[in-house]
Amino acid sequence: MRSTELWMRIRPYVMIAPAMTGIVLFVLYPVAYLGYLSFHKYNLLNPSKSRFVGWENYIRIFTREDFYRSVLNTAVYTLGVVVLTLVLALLAALWLRGSSRWNAFVRAGIFTPHIVSIVSIALVWMWLMEPNLGLLNFMLKAVGLPPSPWLQSSATAMASVILVSVWHNVGYYTLIIFAALQSVPPSLYEAAALDQASRSRVFFRITLPMISPQLFFILIVMTIGSFKVFDTVQIMTGGGPNGATETLVYYIYSYRTTNIGFASATGVVLMAIIGGLTLLYFRFLSRKVHYQ
């Protein structure tokens, strides 16, 4: 009898043990280990030759010009992607909010790129953006516009990468905003119609406040997501031309084997940036968010 009682008490711990093991081993411990590595000059071939260097890696990061460039690139990318995606997704969700089959079909269509691997997306767009034979330049010429070098020039490469990212993700956020629009109580719109409120007034006084929790969520998720951008850049430009698209994760990636301590310290800085941005959002925007 006593042993079953004991079993009843430890049973929940046994059941969550595998999950917690995974989380500790592959998420929490690595974060701590990352911090540890960031204070070391790590020797990959002979770990016993690794030595503690204090803040040296961090000092190096903040005295390097290419670090600031990668932060700036990441910030430009994030700002571009977040603003464009949010505005376009909001417009698309409003336009496609009707429940007709045709609207549902268009919504499914713009969502399709989101479930396709970024490898495929990047390759298709590299082909479309090919400067001499690509379809985009053909279309530009056809309507009398000058062709663009797209990914080949440092002036246009970042804009091209942003364009592809927006195209890849806008359908997903359209769906989320669409779902949010569906959850606004119809009685509010009926009341507004009785009061003969104008469309813009209905939008700014009812629709926007009612979906603000989801918009707030999207803002956070997209900002964090954009700060981790790597795949698109790695495949489409390799960080170039001339570092014009080198982002923070790409920066970490390029030092991952040659200088682990330095790469780890950059990882810690990235984590601090992401954490700081999330805090800022919560501090300054959450008060503006209307919860039902």
Q: Whole-number minimum distance, CB 223 to other proteins, in Å?
A: 12
Distance CA 219, CA 167 (A): 17
Percentages helix, strand, coil for the chain (3-state, rounded to 5) are: 75, 0, 25
Of the two residues 106 and 184, which places its CB atom closer to other proteins in the complex?
A: 106
Q: Whole-number minimum distance, CB 191 to other proteins, in Å?
A: 25
The alpha carbon dihedral of 244, 248, 251, 253 has a sign of: negative
Q: Whole-number minimum distance, CB 241 to other proteins, in Å?
A: 15
Q: Whole-number minimum distance, CB 278 to other proteins, in Å?
A: 8
Of the two residues 205 and 235, which places its CB atom closer to other proteins in the complex?
A: 235
Q: Whole-number minimum distance, CB 84 to other proteins, in Å?
A: 14
Of the two residues 60 and 205, which places its CB atom closer to other proteins in the complex?
A: 60
Q: Whole-number minimum distance, CB 123 to other proteins, in Å?
A: 5
Of the two residues 51 and 191, which places its CB atom closer to other proteins in the complex?
A: 51
**Is the distance from CB of 84 to CB of 167 less than 8 angstroms?**
no
Of the two residues 188 and 224, which places its CB atom closer to other proteins in the complex?
A: 224
Of the two residues 120 and 198, which places its CB atom closer to other proteins in the complex?
A: 120
CA angle 147–153–157, rounded 5-degree value: 95
Distances (CA, A) of 15 to 3, 25, 213: 17, 17, 34
Query: Which positions ≥6 away from 250 have C-beta within 8 Å?
Result: 70, 230, 233, 234, 239
Q: Whole-number minimum distance, CB 182 to other proteins, in Å?
A: 10
Q: Which two tokens stand for residue 32?
A: 């701590």
Q: Which two tokens stand for residue 219?
A: 């803002």
Of the two residues 122 and 244, which places its CB atom closer to other proteins in the complex?
A: 122
Task: Classify residue 52 as exposed, middle or buried by CB count within 10 Å of its CB (0-12, 13-18, 19+).
Answer: exposed
Q: Which helix (H) or strand (E) holds 107?
A: helix 101-111
